[in-house]
Amino acid sequence: MLDIQNLHASAGDTPIIKGIDLHIGAGEVHAIMGPNGSGKSTLSNVLAGRPGYSVTQGEINYDGKNLLEMETETRAREGVFLAFQYPVEIPGVGNSYFLKTSLNAIRTHNGLDELDAMDFLALCEEKMKRVEMPSDLMSRSINEGFSGGEKKRNEILQMLLLEPKLCVLDETDSGLDIDALRVVANGVNSLRSPDRAMLVITHYQRLLDYIVPDRIHVLADGKIVRSGGRELAGELEEKGYGWIGQTE
């Protein structure tokens, strides 16, 4: 599903990612852990195509296509979804209107009919239940005045609606209390399927108690310094990131 080879990337002029190789197959959930500044967010931004980041070397192959040649919106339409660490507030644009526009843009790209208002509403209500999202958040402006937890639920709601093939979750656990974390994780887990891949980026092991990954990679100074099974999270929790540096 996702094949990253020798990736080097910069934020602005600063090299951040210094050679990453990563292969995530369909149906797999991988986690990337690492200290602040290790390049976790840069990796997610490069995958989503955020302006200001440039790939200086290497390749990213997504579902048999060259991801780096695609525009941001094309990646989204082809099934790449980034759950933002800091979802953006957009005053004056209704959340519901935004989600419907987004869903229909993606459906149209994939040769499906657009959903009308009624069908969209029905679908949306069903998905909202799964993330325990109050209905008034749909009639409000995108993320405007949402609490931290509401913003993250809104991200997961979008993921549930758009049903992407590759889900990238960028520190989705940051700023969440334990109840919100459970709700968000349940939403994510409900999307786990044999034809979908997930990349969960987090600083803390806590999230991985709820979203249990198949593989864990530890990122430090722009490189994957350790990869292992889910037991690696426990080790990191116990010994901290300093331990990784020492073993290198």
Partner 1 sequence: MRGGSRGNPAESWIQAFPAFAAALGDNPQRQAQRERALAAFGELGLPSTRLEAWRSTNLGTLEKRMPPAPTGHAPEAGLLEKAKTQIALEADRVGEASLRAVFIDGHFCSSLSSLPEDESAIRVLSIRPESPTPVAFPQGYGELAPAKRDAFSALNEAFTPGIEVLEFGEGCEIDLPVHLVFLSSGDGRLNCPRLHVTGKKQSRATLILDFLSVPDGENLVSSVTEIFLEERAHLDCVVAERESDRTVHIANLQARQGRESGLRIHTLTLGGALVRNELGVELADLGAELDLNGLYVGSGDQHQDNHTRVDHATPRTTSRELYKGILADNARGVFRGLIHVRPDAQKIDSTQSNMNLLLSPGARVDTRPQLEIYADDVKCSHGSTIGKLDEEALFYLRSRGLSPSEARAMLTRGFVAEICDALPLESLRTAITELVLEKLSACVHPGGEGVA
Can residue 102 be called a binding residue for partner 1 (CB under 8 A)?
Answer: yes
Can residue 73 be called a binding residue for partner 1 (CB under 8 A)?
Answer: yes
Among 89-97, 122-130, 189-197, 205-213, which window interacts with partner 1 (CB under 8 A)? Answer: 89-97
Q: How far is the CB of 30 from partner 1 (least distance, A)?
A: 20
Can residue 72 be called a binding residue for partner 1 (CB under 8 A)?
Answer: yes
Query: Contacts with partner 1 in 212-241 (CB under 8 A)?
Result: none
Query: Contacts with partner 1 in 116-155 (CB under 8 A)?
Result: 141
CB 187 within 8 A of CB 156: yes
Q: What tokens does 223 get?
A: 């490189």
Place of tokens 């292992």: 228
Which CB, 19 or 91, lies closer to partner 1? 91
Can residue 88 be called a binding residue for partner 1 (CB under 8 A)?
Answer: yes
Distance CA 202, CA 102 (A): 26
Residue 169 CB contacts under 8 Å (≥ 6 apart), including other chains:
83, 188, 198, 199, 200, 201, 202, 211
Q: How far is the CB of 76 from partner 1 (least distance, A)?
A: 4
Can residue 87 be called a binding residue for partner 1 (CB under 8 A)?
Answer: yes
Among 13-21, 45-53, 178-186, 228-236, which window interacts with partner 1 (CB under 8 A)? Answer: 45-53
In the stretch 169-208, what mask flags binding to partner 1 with x, by CB under 8 A? Answer: ----------------------------------------
Can residue 49 be called a binding residue for partner 1 (CB under 8 A)?
Answer: yes
Query: Which residues of this protein are in contact with partner 1, per CB under 8 A?
Result: 48-51, 71-73, 75-77, 81-82, 84, 87-88, 90-93, 98, 101-102, 105-106, 109, 141, 158, 162
